[in-house]
Structure 1
Amino acid sequence: FLIAELVYPGLQVFGVLGILLMIIAIYMAYWQQPYIDFTPYSIVMIIVLVFLSAVLIYSGLEVGRILKLPTPSLRESLIGKHGIARTVVTPRQRGVVLVEGEEWTAYSIDEDIHENEEIVVVDVRGLTLIVRKISE
């Protein structure tokens, strides 16, 4: 079991075994007790606990599934986005552009872009955007 936990750390091997052993221990502790009786109240409590456990397990599995979804990289998320030039941007001189509400350092891909002209991101190199002026 220890090797399995080292390979798959988290609430997988020891967590599941611990829960299973707790259920078995509770069952063995109360199985032959003469003073314990299953009243309607205790049956309702068992049903509620089973339901809540199922909801928690399901939500935990959904969160795990969502966390495993691929997230787009910075490059993928910025290419094709539109923005506005805050300063003059040329192929030789970097400038500042506003894309998605954030200011970025940028170079123009082919022509000079003046302040307040609309741009589109065509590439990302590190933390610098390569932009092109949107033709009217």
Structure 2
Amino acid sequence: MRIEPYRVALEELISIDTALNANMEYISLVLNEAVPIEDSEREVIESYLQHKYNVPIYNYTHEQLIEQKLGEQDGTRLKGILLTMERYKQSDDTNEMTLEVSKYRANEGAIALEMILAYQEGQWEISGYVTERES
């Protein structure tokens, strides 16, 4: 399925630095327009995340989360996690792609990665990643 590499990437992103997930009240998923996902595919991913983590799924940016009062009182920390898919690059090999993704909870609680995904033995998996920034 076309969405499988995105689901695998989000799973990996959530599993990295699990302290950022502590007591999360929601997941906000923002897909940049450069990421080729249809609305119906995004809904399948959101449904999967909602069932797995048992939290509401939003599509709010950081600013919108703060406006919706989904941040802590001081405004620097979110009550949930913000997952963003920034960029997508298809490699020359159709069984490989690169995604730039980030996970944000607070200014001192964020990570951004460039993930390389490969389709091997009938499934998508992470073949490596480079941490772009971590705080």
Structure 1 length normalisation: TM-score? 0.19
* More RCO (CA 8 Å, sep 6+): 2
More strand by share: 2
Structure 2 length normalisation: TM-score? 0.19
- When Rg is computed on C-alpha atoms for both structures, the one with the higher figure is 1
More helix by share: 1
